[in-house]
Amino acid sequence: MSFGHSATRTVKMSLLAVDEIPTLSLLYKLGKLAPAPEGTEVPTTLSFTPTGPITPSKALNDRVCLVRHDITKLKVDAITNAANQSLLGGGGIDGAIHSAAGYGLLEECRTLKGCKTGDAKVTGGHRLPAKKVIHAVGPVYDVVHPDKSEELLTKAYNKVLNLAVDNDCKSLALCGISTGVYGYPPREAAPVAISAVKKFLEGEKGQKLEKVVFVTWVKQDVESHAEFLPIYFPPVEETAKTESPKLSKADAEEVRAAEEVANKLPDVPKSEPGESEHPEKKQKQSQ
């Protein structure tokens, strides 16, 4: 599945408010996200050791979202930046966020004096629609010691989640950390990120986060999230004859807006987005 605009034409991405971003529950309902095949094993990570089948939770599926979109166009409380240790901008999503936020972000980042791998720091959103940016430094993937890479990546995601709550954020958009030039394979990074979110949301502190949005762009990230989200957040079986609860006018409008976004989502792209459309690649070329 793909969770954003078509990669076959140039588009100008619109702002998306958090209530317009489809939840896992809605994506399952609309057939935009497929359940994991029966008998699929749950990958063991530092955050999650399976002891049996995962019990589906509508409450969790209503709080976790997935979208293929430009993270700089999301109107949420905080977005994540896959930063380097200097925190002064770079290529990929890091450069795209700095470009969209304006010079004020760079000035604020200079006051932070860098950030070590596996850690994260917070700034304001400046010209971004998001109120805050949480800059996380993920590891350069170590093919000789992948366990060390997993440990650092897990620490980075945990720090992001904790900082979001510590800074009174109710909604958080997560990008793929370390999956770009840092070389972390998306199929190995996705279970680390997703299981870390699951563990956090099930904890006491995680109750304060109302929405966590996984934001994908490149084909490998899209496919990895479509594969592993249904494993850790399986769909809830709904009884066919159960009547839907009557929604308030405001709630019905939110559902309608999210369905409108979700219904526009195309199938899995056969190739990467075009150069003129890809916010990360476009930014890299300008570095």
- The stretch 94-109 carries a mean pLDDT of 98
Q: What is the pLDDT of residue 276?
A: 41
Burial 206-230 (b: 16+ CB within 10 A, else e): beebebbbbbbbbbbbbbbbbbbbb
- pLDDT over 70 at 24, yes or no: yes
Whether 16 contacts 73, CB under 8 Å: yes
Query: Is pLDDT of 226 > 70?
Result: yes
What is the residue-averaged pLDDT of the chain?
87
How sure is the predictor about 73, in pLDDT bands with cuts at 50, 70 and 90? Answer: very high
pLDDT digits (tens, 9 = 90+) for 186-209: 999 999 999 999 999 999 999 999
Res 13 pLDDT > 90? no
Q: What is the pTM of this model?
A: 0.84
User: In the predicted model, what is the mean pLDDT of residues 208-219?
Assistant: 97
**First-to-last CA distance in the chain?**
31
| Residue pair 214/4 in contact by the 8 Å Cβ criterion | no
> 49 pLDDT exceeds 70?
yes
What CATH superfamily is the domain 17-35+55-237+246-286?
Leucine Aminopeptidase, subunit E, domain 1 (3.40.220.10)
